[in-house]
């Protein structure tokens, strides 16, 4: 529990129902405070926006800030009532999903671009101008990163992430239909290792599911989702390409199907891809809402952890790698 300072502010009564009904709070402004004795900086919430379920809005600014939010918060709104509010992301709380025509246009462009990109590499492989395994990994390593790079083009409205989620959702539905053999779609030939339709329901479908979940829950509000997808797509992708071609002579003793060179390739590619992706988002003016930024050291720790998890076959890489990136990244962000 976290309470605001005891000093109460006299505010106009907005509606009697506010005192008996839940309302939602969302941080809208932050203050960066430097701690010289620890040589660190923290973000404190200075302004919160409280929204009643009947769209009554109230904004409160505090001089000392609210500190770090726990899961629940007791906030004193008026002298006569205390309102309990849940700290949940605003897109889950709002019944209104507002998006712009621009969001729809970008999502449609992403869908068309992804389809053309996949068909291009499928055509290249059919002409024997490139190995099918290489074309598959190119699709694996580029489709989602290219999609992520379009996130800053979407608006900051509450429904923009839902519109963006249509892209991996439809691609996943397309894979599922092709994997079931219910259509003549040849997408399974380009995304699966052996070209079988059943294989499209495993790794490729998991890959799209993870992209959907990261887009929905993390979006461009946090660097964790960006890093997780870069580790999955480019880190894991380069590990397989480099490891299969040059790493067969030196494998790990506890995991004979994984090479040492492949692990190093994962670490280098995952780190560089994550770093430059974050630089790109920062350069276009994207601000991560209250999440802070991952330092170079933290990013290196995340990358090394993901490359180590990739060696353990307890779970499909498409799930274990991004999960570990989000888990370790969130711990490092909390300790910044």
Task: Give the pLDDT of residue 46.
Answer: 58
For the chain, give the mean pLDDT.
76
Task: Give the pLDDT of residue 336.
Answer: 60
Please report which confidence band the pLDDT of residue 327 belongs to, taking 50, 70 and 90 as the band edges: very high
pLDDT for 215 beyond 70: yes
Mean pLDDT across the stretch 274-302?
88
Task: Give the pLDDT of residue 26.
Answer: 62
Please report which confidence band the pLDDT of residue 130 belongs to, taking 50, 70 and 90 as the band edges: confident
SS3 60: strand
| Sheet arrangement for strand 72-78 | 57-61, 40-52, 23-35, 81-86, 72-78
Task: Give the pLDDT of residue 13.
Answer: 42
| The two three-digit tokens of residue 254, written as one number | 């506890």
- Of the two residues 32 and 200, the one the predictor is more confident about is 200
Residues 6+ apart with CB under 8 A from 115: none
Q: What pLDDT, in 10s, does the model give residues 224-268?
A: 999 999 999 999 889 988 988 887 788 888 887 888 999 999 999
Dihedral sign for Cα 113, 116, 120, 122, please.
positive
List, as one string, the DSSP characters of 244-309: HHH-TTSEETTEEEEEHHHHHHHHHHHHHHHHHHHHHHHHTT---TTT----HHHHHHHHHHHHHH
Task: Give the pLDDT of residue 116.
Answer: 93
* Residue that the structure tokens 């939602």 belong to: 24
CA distance 203 to 162: 24
191 and 140 Cβ atoms separated by less than 8 Å: yes
CA distance 232 to 253: 24
pLDDT for 324 beyond 80: yes
- Of the two residues 81 and 126, the one the predictor is more confident about is 126
6 and 25 Cβ atoms separated by less than 8 Å: no
CA distance 49 to 33: 21
Please report which confidence band the pLDDT of residue 213 belongs to, taking 50, 70 and 90 as the band edges: very high
CA distance 316 to 206: 8
SS3 133: helix
Task: Give the pLDDT of residue 316.
Answer: 87
Q: What pLDDT, in 10s, does the model give residues 6-25?
A: 444 444 444 444 444 555 55
Task: Give the pLDDT of residue 306.
Answer: 95
Task: Give the pLDDT of residue 16.
Answer: 43
Please report which confidence band the pLDDT of residue 320 belongs to, taking 50, 70 and 90 as the band edges: very high
Q: What pLDDT, in 10s, does the model give residues 23-65?
A: 555 656 656 665 555 555 555 665 656 655 444 444 444 444 4
Q: What pLDDT, in 10s, does the model give residues 146-180?
A: 999 999 999 988 899 999 999 999 999 988 888 77
Task: Give percent of the chain above pLDDT 90.
Answer: 38
Q: For the chain, how far is it from start to end, CA to CA, in angstroms?
A: 22
pLDDT for 202 beyond 60: yes
Q: What pLDDT, in 10s, does the model give residues 131-151?
A: 877 888 888 899 999 999 999
pLDDT for 275 beyond 50: yes
Question: Which pTM does this prediction carry?
Answer: 0.71
Please report which confidence band the pLDDT of residue 83 belongs to, taking 50, 70 and 90 as the band edges: very low
Instruction: Please compute, for residue 270, the number of CA atoms within 13 A of its CA located in the half-sphere on the CB side.
Output: 32
List, as one string, the DSSP characters of 3-19: B--S---------GGGG
CA dihedral 239, 319, 164, 178 (to 10 degrees): 90
Closest of 102, 236, 198 to residue 159, by C-alpha: 102
pLDDT for 307 beyond 80: yes
Task: Give the pLDDT of residue 7.
Answer: 46
Helix then strand count (H, E) for the chain reads: 11, 7
Task: Give the pLDDT of residue 39.
Answer: 53
Task: Give the pLDDT of residue 272.
Answer: 97
86 and 22 Cβ atoms separated by less than 8 Å: yes
């Amino acid at each position: 529990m976290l309470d605001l300072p005891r000093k109460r502010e006299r505010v106009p009564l907005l509606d009697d129902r506010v005192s008996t009904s839940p309302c939602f709070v969302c941080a809208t402004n932050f203050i960066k405070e430097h701690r010289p004795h620890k040589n660190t900086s923290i973000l404190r919430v200075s302004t919160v926006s409280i929204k009643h379920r009947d769209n009554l809005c109230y904004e409160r600014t505090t001089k000392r800030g609210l500190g770090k939010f726990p899961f629940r918060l007791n906030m004193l709104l008026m002298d006569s009532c205390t309102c309990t509010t849940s700290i949940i992301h605003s897109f889950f709380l709002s019944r209104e999903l507002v998006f712009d025509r621009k969001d729809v246009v970008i999502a449609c462009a992403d869908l068309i671009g992804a389809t053309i990109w996949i068909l291009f590499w499928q055509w290249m492989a059919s002409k024997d101008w490139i190995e099918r395994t290489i074309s598959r990994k190119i699709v694996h390593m580029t489709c989602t990163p290219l999609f992520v790079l379009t996130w800053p083009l979407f608006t900051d409205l509450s429904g923009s992430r839902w519109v963006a989620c249509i892209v991996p959702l439809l691609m996943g539905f397309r894979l599922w239909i092709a994997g079931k053999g219910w259509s003549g779609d040849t997408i399974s030939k380009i995304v699966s290792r052996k070209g079988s339709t059943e294989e499209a329901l495993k790794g490729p479908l998991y890959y799209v599911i993870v992209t959907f979940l990261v887009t929905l829950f993390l979006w461009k509000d946090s660097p964790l989702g960006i890093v997780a997808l870069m580790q999955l797509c480019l880190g894991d992708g380069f590990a397989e390409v480099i490891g299969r071609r040059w790493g067969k002579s030196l494998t790990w003793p506890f995991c004979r199907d994984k090479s040492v060179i492949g692990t190093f390739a994962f670490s280098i590619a995952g780190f560089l891809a994550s770093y430059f992706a974050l630089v790109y988002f920062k350069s276009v003016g994207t601000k991560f809402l209250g999440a802070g930024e991952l330092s170079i050291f933290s990013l290196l720790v995340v990358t090394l952890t993901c490359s180590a998890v990739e060696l353990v076959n307890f779970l499909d890489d498409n799930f274990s790698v991004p999960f570990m990136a989000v888990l370790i990244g969130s711990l490092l962000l909390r300790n910044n």
